Chains A and B, each alone.
Chain A
Amino acid sequence: MKCIGQVATYPGRSANLPVMLESVVAQFDEIHVALNQYSKRQQRALPQYPNVHYLIPDDDLKDTGKFVRQAAADEYVFLMDDDLVFPADYVATLIACHEDLPTQRIAVGLHGVIYSDLFEGAATSRFVAKFDKALQRQLLVNQLGTGCLMLRGDLMPPFDVMKSAQRFVDVRFARYCHENGIGMLCTARPDGWIKDQEPEESIFETYTRAHHREQLDEILAFAGFGKLNARLALAVERA
């Protein structure tokens, strides 16, 4: 299986992207980067690697840019954010974790969210396993942050599904997985295994844009412990 990285960025993150690429470029067969709002001149200023492919989309795809490439079945796809720093064993660790699971129909990630079963739209009504914090035991979650997750290429949602979800790709991705019987596993890791280049201690990260009224329908479709596949949840916690 090939290992493919998929990233979306924009000029405001031009200082972050090289740092992120430097941390993972050696671990992938290919990395595809969607350069939203970039000019050709700006692209040329980016670091060049033989396995890194830049694409300037016609429109500003924002965070859906990481879904624009159509993945193949014989690939492991890693979705990544451009402002993180990944460890040297990132890809190998996630693949090993994935292969140990009782099903392959599952996405493995680090930023896990479980909403309240009685979710009413409030920012605090959810359990968050933050990607840069330790998690002692892997567990099934409602939603994974698409900034650091992997899954088999044939399980990737088509771009048509994702393109209307700018600014709330995590929610749309979670809904797609829920509707298609794809589990979402938040993997165990030590504190600081992944690092945020611009750490901000705020519960509002990714939240302000994620939870406005129009998205509640999508969240409610998969929110809560009760919406998890309980048997799978038990199996992965036993594993």
Chain B
Amino acid sequence: MSARSTVRARRVEPPVSELPQAEAVPATTHLSEVRKLREAIERHYRTNRTLTGLVHKLAGPKGEAAHVELRPRLAGATQSQHPERRPEPATDAWWPAAPVMPSAPLAAHAGHDCFSLADTIGDTVGVSVMGLRGVDLDRVVGGVAAEQRKSKDFKPVFLTDQPDFLPFVSRGYSFEYLSTFRDYLAPRAEEGRETRRGVLTTKWGLSRIVNHDDARAANRAYPPLAALLNHNTDMSRACHHDRFGWIIETLRIALSGERFDAAEGLANYLLTFFDRLEGAHQIPAARVICRKFIAFGELEKLRAFLFKNIAQVKKDDSLFTWFSTYCTGNTEFLAEFALLPSRKINVYYLSKRMAVAGDQVVPNLLAAGDGATANGNLLLANYFAIRRDAALYKMFVNRALGKHGDSLLSKVSFDQGNLLERLSFENRPPARDQHELVSVIMSSYEAAETIGYAARSILKQSYGNIELLICDDCSSDGTSRELEKLRSDPRVRLFQSKAQQGTYGIRNSLIAEARGSYVTFHDSDDFAFPDRIERQLRFLREHGAAAVVGQWFRVTGEGEFVFSSDHAVARLAVVSLFAHRGVFERFGPYRTARVAADTEFYERLRMSLGVEAVRLMTTPLILGLASANSLTRSPGIEATEDGFRAPARRAYAAAAAKRRHMGGNHAGTAPIDEILAANGILMSHAGVEELETRR
């Protein structure tokens, strides 16, 4: 101890505050006494935190007080320290070309509690507390101080972006103030943060940086992550109180958030303990277990589970729906499954059996009259599609569309071929304000049969100030010939992929070519409602949003609407993403995956900008063709309306979701491109050429 610190004892008269420092009398002290003094000082420093209390405690038998000063040899570093600096590199610029660094790492303060050990502790640890302030910050700093008191073998340097320094100053710790400047929104922000951490590591000689950032501060505006963080935060208390309740909710969050990597093990754990679950947990547990079976395509396990737990099936709408769908044959109609336990219509079941059940079911649905839901109307429309009754089909579809305020069908024909090719909508008056150009991007592959109506549905929009950029991805079915027919419209710009690259490589290229203030997309087999662009642009302006996404109805070539197992028909249409062009420049490019890169991009936008800036329109804007030829039905990359995801999609979705959840802690996530490559869904960007230019 004596070799490390200078210790002086002084005889002084109380009270201490009135003592002139010059009258202090130094005295030598034996080593063991020094150690005792040091321990006493540290003990009482922890409890009293006042010099007065300490001095009175150490007072001599005659009421004299001892003033003890412990002074480590190394100078402590504070935010006001002015270290010797390395010579700056010769430059004409008035601003340094690189961070100004001290010639040797700064010596961090050990803090009040370990003050006397400052020169013996060699390990300096960065503690990142970005985003924390007030009691939250004080709690973290207090926790670190407690650990330091116990181990006495590290000195913290706190890294903060909040102007709340009291927790550091009051405990005598060093800290760095780092302004963030909204770097979460900046391109390459992650790289910038890494660079900054590297600089600080050198500056303070940090052995490592421990992360106690308030992730919630950055992600509060992204509900999926906020829900996860809130759920995690409560884990220890919740598990002590109700372990299985916590596990059930975790599995629900994992499935909703596409964390398929976690879902498998959780479902297995829950299934193993299922018979021991208390009654209130059995139905929620059964629901999430079944959802996992469906997502993973484990239908035999699903059937076995549902048959085994038939008592729960009879009580719950979701379990009942799955039982009726997967355990009763594919075509047969059993009337006892037409109604759910809650007495609502089992729409999903009926939608798949209208051909055999329609004659029994339709009278009941019709009896509901005008009070029927949009879903009920579309179920009826499905029945008349099967019967090829165009007039009644149109009537029920229009009833459903009218409930959403959508444009109405004017003409339907059930002649041979794809119904979408022969649909027309009532004319809409042109949008009033059309001064800003909107770029609509469309990629096409083997789309000769559909590209015509898909493109016409865009060119006939009520908002006419558009450019339609279409790129053929090396099709062999005559798609390019169909595209040539569109050339007569000056708003159409045609492109050709230099090599087959998938839709997202094309999007990246065409975004760079786009001239519009806004950019959106359209699939080459979908039909846009005639006011889609007008409504999205109006919504974007009215809400001051950066981007907006709408919904779609999936419909077969025969005109039947596709329902999901939650009995809904309107679904999020990520393809309808409509945004300022700058959004794509800042957050792009799309990952060149074969599938689902638009979902990753959309979630990234929501997380970065917040859900207030990336809005959802709960309005159908598109009729999406549900075809056996579509990517969502292609073997190996399927995504079906019941929730099944092919393994490659699961791997991609899980990796992307995990990256979002981990925030800056990417250490545990493999590069997503590697995962895509391993699953055979990574494409290469090939570039495009504009056909007019080539000529």
Contact = CB atoms under 8 A, between A and B. Distances in A.
Interface of A: 10, 12, 83, 114, 116-128, 198, 200-209, 211-217, 219-220, 224-228, 230-231, 233-234
Contacts of A208: 125, 127, 143-144, 147, 210, 212
B161 interface: no
A214 B147 contact: no
A117 B208 contact: no
B30 interface: no
Interface in B390-429: none
Contact of A118 (B151, B254, B273): B254
By Cβ-Cβ distance, the 4 closest A-B pairs, closest first, are A226-B265, A204-B143, A125-B232, A230-B272
Contact of B232 (A119, A213, A230): A119
Interface stretch (B533-541, B544-552, B568-576, B659-667): B659-667
Contact of A126 (B144, B235, B268, B664): B235
Nearest to A235: B272
Main secondary structure of the interface of A (DSSP, over half): loop
B668 interface: yes
A137 to B, nearest CB: 10
A227 B667 CA distance: 19
Interface string B652-693: 000000000111110110000000000000000000000000
A214 B208 contact: yes
Nearest to B140: A204
Contacts of B254: 117-118
A212 B232 contact: no
Interface string B137-165: 00010111011011111100000000000
B360 interface: no
Contacts of B263: 226
Contacts of B267: 226
Contacts of A233: 269, 272-273
Interface string B148-190: 0111111000000000000000000000000000000000000
Interface residues of B, number: 56
Interface string B249-271: 01001100101001111111101
A208 B268 CA distance: 32
A6 B263 CA distance: 39
B266 A211 contact: no
B449 to A, nearest CB: 44
B377 to A, nearest CB: 40
A214 B667 contact: yes
B190 to A, nearest CB: 12
Given A120-B229, A216-B668, 7 more contacts: A114-B239, A126-B236, A212-B210, A213-B664, A228-B265, A230-B268, A230-B272
23 contacts: A12-B151, A116-B235, A118-B228, A120-B228, A120-B232, A127-B235, A127-B236, A127-B243, A200-B146, A200-B149, A201-B146, A204-B147, A209-B125, A209-B154, A211-B210, A213-B211, A217-B668, A225-B265, A225-B266, A225-B269, A230-B268, A230-B272, A234-B273
Nearest to A15: B39
Contacts of B234: 124
Contacts of A213: 209, 211, 664-665, 667
Contacts of A228: 265, 269
Contact of A226 (B231, B236, B266, B276): B266
A224 B266 contact: yes
B232 A12 contact: no
A122 to B, nearest CB: 6
A75 to B, nearest CB: 29
Contact of A216 (B212, B276, B667): B667
A225 to B, nearest CB: 5
Contact of A204 (B146, B208, B232, B235): B146
Contacts of B235: 116, 124-127
B236 A231 contact: no
Contact of B144 (A119, A198, A204, A226): A204
B269 A226 contact: yes
Interface in B217-260: 228-229, 231-236, 239-240, 243, 247, 250, 253-254, 257, 259
